[in-house]
Structure 1
């Protein structure tokens, strides 16, 4: 019972983080109207959370390794709750931007402790099941941001308008914090790594130089400073990488655990997740534009259109864990193929009406549930318990970075195509790019499956 309670507490925080990542897309028109928000400020309200969330993930993971996953998780949830309240009571765009930045930082402290605790506490057999639930809850949180967010705005609870999508986190936080203090176990990581502040600052600066222009570039027409900023990120990342190597070589503890990059399953998992998250985040974004801008649905109706996809994602996430244990990575390849078929169907039938779109979405959701949770589990399977925090932080940073980049790049393609041919043509172009990314995921998983088979044959050959 304690194990189930532990997982429920951890996943409730993960749900909040995912929910708040997506719900602002639904609330953005109301925020723009009520606070008289300009385009740039609105982009920062939507994207500022993603930036500080991504930039702080690795440091959040290191904090968990240093001070304990339980302690950092509790403080992270408390800070996330306070930041959510600050979002809900903001009276001008500047206050809301600052509150969203703080909310992202709190999420960066909170979320890495979820996978870290799962990796450190659960034995391998139970861990794969817990990671399956992690993937399922992440998918539900993403969809709930669209569905529940639209419902809350439509119901206009207590006349709060858009503020309710943030204030709803208050009762959740007040419930989770004391239960986490009671149920979460103390995990001794056997290490107390020092914080690498120069490395953390360099990583945050490099991410800012990329994510800020990606977030603002499209709405501003890609001015020269956006390209200069992204180009400047290259030397910043290079210097940060050099500092990490030097610090590690002299026995220090860099913010990036470069030893993890030598773990083949971890490196391959990161690569697969980057391709998948670039597709998934962009797909959710462009699909919302198609449903509301191209098909004239309200925010709530568009959210309901996402619901079958979310239900199938959740079901196959849980089922996929058992299937992978029995049949191996071929299940992930089948899931990727189902997703690819759904995207192909969307490309072919996007102009035929909502029923065809929803049919394609159901295939996409079913396939996604077989893929994403298993990629996360495969990435962490060989990570040592004392590296669980930093490994989870690096993995989460890669996810968020890929998601932001996918939205910016594929979103730019969508907007360019929409100007010339409308929303349906734009969705076809973006879905075709998404299909290419999913094919990369399938190819990567097939490569890893072949390597795993070779290793198994080698072990069998040398066994007397």
Structure 2
């Protein structure tokens, strides 16, 4: 684009209804994240009412996660292909229908299939959220909008524990566990109604091709890695689980080779390999891996300790999670403005606080043993919630800092995939360590010992994230001192609208 053309575009007013649009997008993100974790608190009910065995429970809980993570990059490219607005509407409608099917399931097999479908529809819906935020919000506001996206990611997960327990205990209309899925139906329909009115219609002359080989390769490699992590412990780690894990590496290597070759031939690969040459982006993904894997595996294991180990009801477990949830929510709400002043420095502070919480948790578990109680765990839980509440919202903007406009959609897809893959891998992989440590014993001391293993692994991951976050960009001193909302690093939006995926 010429300098004259850029100047002509400069005074263009941003989309006037963007802040009304944002809650609609975040409602969809909340549903997807809520459903990733709410099933944790319903495991006992599913086992009793649906006669679900351990393998079925693992697939019901984590199957959603691996189809969700496996499809996110492809979902982002489909949004580039047919338009983010259309893809968001289709994805939200399909997610709502899949949630209805989950709530109507009559057998473990039906629920497993519905959950896998729910994950795929979530993968169609969620990438459009970041793509539209990146496309519609001007640079001075984008960091705040991205931070609210991060708030929603974390609050959705915490709400899965707190609200999920309350919904099960209240037993709305006698629906039992079904209510945790059926609650998405009215929310999805309302989100669709507002999306039809508020999401912008934007035309783009630059429509990429799909790259089916890349889509299959990325999805297959992620599925090959996640499936054995989900089922390995339950099945006793048979030969096929190890073959699947090993095969995921060459499949991903071949996929990356194909993507590079396609790019060199002037094609349009699904993965923008140039993103990984951006040091800020690459380091940010490492921080994401450590942060999301540790936090969400901790939440999963703690839920099992609360209900199975300490014998709390879903409602009591939900109340026990409330201080953690309040700490996370309070820190998350403060995080957007603090991120504007401190940028990646806030991620470092947040992960450091979370690390202190993990150390405190290890100390409490080691000292309490068989006398471990929910009250004794509250202090470490609050520290972990506070630290992640500071880090997670700021992380999205920090990771996308410096990404070129033409790579914004691709960067958002890779970031979201990394977040969800890390969450699912943490629940499945570290969850397997938890079950292995627990073995056949079921006393309070045994659950405390198993949680110690989880906390020790999570501490290592948090420390890696904290150390890497030191290398994330800081805002310029003048901007940081001013404390302006746009001071945090954000994706440059000076390129034409047609060049930004999702800007339609």
Task: Give 2:42's aligned residue.
Answer: 27
Residue 93 in 1 paired to residue 108 in 2? yes
Counterpart Cα distance in 1 of 2:337 and 2:163: 29
Q: Across the two proteins, how many residue pairs are aligned to each other?
A: 454
Does the 8 A contact of 1:146 with 1:300 survive in 2? no
- Could you list the per-position Cα deviations for residues 233-287 of structure 1 after superposition, in whole angstroms to 9, with x for gaps in the alignment? 1221121111111111111111111121122222111111011111112111111
Counterpart Cα distance in 1 of 2:128 and 2:448: 41
TM-score by length of 1: 0.93
Counterpart Cα distance in 1 of 2:183 and 2:329: 23
1:217/1:80 CA distance change after superposition, 3 Å:
same
Residue 339 in 1 paired to residue 354 in 2? yes
Taking the TM superposition and a 5 Å limit, the aligned residue runs for 1:66-85 are: 66-85=81-100
Task: Give 2:231's aligned residue.
Answer: 216
Residue 448 in 1 paired to residue 472 in 2? yes
**Distance apart, 1:382 and its partner CA:** 2.1
Deviates more, 1:317-326 or 1:58-67: 317-326
Residue 154 in 1 paired to residue 178 in 2? no
Task: Give 1:409's aligned residue.
Answer: 429
- Could you list the per-position Cα deviations for residues 208-240 of structure 1 after superposition, in whole angstroms to 9, with x for gaps in the alignment? 211111000111111121111111112211211
Counterpart Cα distance in 1 of 2:343 and 2:423: 27
Residue 163 in 1 paired to residue 163 in 2? no
Instruction: Please state whether the residue corresponding to 2:200 is helix, strand or coil.
Output: coil
**Distance apart, 1:200 and its partner CA:** 0.8
Does the 8 A contact of 1:68 with 1:186 survive in 2? no
**Distance apart, 1:188 and its partner CA:** 4.5
Does the 8 A contact of 2:342 with 2:475 survive in 1? no
Instruction: Please state whether the residue corresponding to 1:447 is helix, strand or coil.
Output: coil
Counterpart Cα distance in 1 of 2:324 and 2:167: 20
Taking the TM superposition and a 5 Å limit, the aligned residue runs for 1:308-323 are: 308-323=323-338
Task: Give 1:254's aligned residue.
Answer: 269
Higher helix share: 1
TM-score by length of 2: 0.86
Task: Give 2:381's aligned residue.
Answer: 361
**Distance apart, 1:99 and its partner CA:** 1.2
- Could you list the per-position Cα deviations for residues 106-143 of structure 1 after superposition, in whole angstroms to 9, with x for gaps in the alignment? 10011011111111111222111112211222222111
Task: Give 1:207's aligned residue.
Answer: 222
For structure 1, the 5+ residue unaligned runs are: 457-464
Instruction: Please state whether the residue corresponding to 1:91 is helix, strand or coil.
Output: coil
For structure 2, the 5+ residue unaligned runs are: 1-15, 481-504
Counterpart Cα distance in 2 of 1:65 and 1:262: 22
Does the 8 A contact of 2:162 with 2:322 survive in 1? yes
Deviates more, 1:173-182 or 1:411-420: 411-420
Instruction: Please state whether the residue corresponding to 1:448 is helix, strand or coil.
Output: coil
Taking the TM superposition and a 5 Å limit, the aligned residue runs for 1:228-267 are: 228-267=243-282
CA root-mean-square deviation: 2.0
1:38/1:355 CA distance change after superposition, 3 Å:
closer
Task: Give 1:426's aligned residue.
Answer: 450
**Distance apart, 1:319 and its partner CA:** 1.4
Counterpart Cα distance in 2 of 1:166 and 1:149: 10
Deviates more, 1:272-281 or 1:397-406: 397-406
Taking the TM superposition and a 5 Å limit, the aligned residue runs for 1:180-199 are: 180-188=195-203, 191-199=206-214
- Could you list the per-position Cα deviations for residues 353-376 of structure 1 after superposition, in whole angstroms to 9, with x for gaps in the alignment? 322311111111111111111111
